[in-house]
Structure 1
């Protein structure tokens, strides 16, 4: 999942002040990882899931623009 966040960020054509969705998603995944390290369920809560869904939607739109011969 972290790879999706990073790839979406690197593919974006955004200004430095527009990286908030990516940094928020990364922070959400880091919180999930810390919970897992403590032996707690790593499942994202509703707020974290919303942050991740936003970046997944951005990445889905990025992939939709790639010609199929690139896959």
Structure 2
């Protein structure tokens, strides 16, 4: 009897109806607006570290929300991470927080991709992605996208 009680306590809680549905549309619209405004601020020459951080957060969340990234998804998100890293490096050396037109297009693609994720994936996937991002940020700092199976 004791064995069954222990085994039962290790089971994951069943997902609620809300967890199986996408996030509320009003919530995803606000999230999307924040992300797109960060990109607009950078493009207009008014970008700051917070804007790049917001965009980097989107890259990581998009990555963590994927079950198994396709080669195209993997390439896009790795390129976006590289683009934002380059922007941070330039700003750290006295430059502006900016992106080239090509880099801007890459980040725009990521934002559109993430918007689709938020609109279609169950909310528990976003919650899990947020937990992973938080653990990674607190535990080791964000250095680069973790390879599949390592994070």
| Alignment TM-score, normalising by the size of structure 1 | 0.83
Q: Which runs of 5+ in 1 are unaligned?
A: none
State the 4+ residue runs in structure 1 displaced beyond 2 angstroms: none
Q: State yes or no: 1:5 paired with 2:63.
A: no
- Deviation at residue 22 of structure 1 after TM alignment: 0.3
Q: Which residue of 16, 26, 40 corresponds with 2:81?
A: 26
Rounded to whole Å, the distance in 2 between the matches of 1:55 and 1:64 is 14
Greater Rg by CA: 2
- Displacement after TM superposition at 1:10 (Å): 1.1
| Cα distance in 1 for residues equivalent to 2:94 and 2:102 | 21
Q: Which residue of 2 aligns with 1:64?
A: 119
Does 1:53 find its partner at 2:108? yes
CA RMSD of aligned residues (A): 2.0
In 2, Cα distance between equivalents of 1:32 and 1:44: 7
User: With structure 2 as the length reference, what TM-score do the two structures score?
Assistant: 0.42
Count of aligned pairs: 69
Unaligned runs of 5+ in 2: 1-54, 127-151
- C-alpha separation between the residues in 1 aligned to 2:61 and 2:85? 17
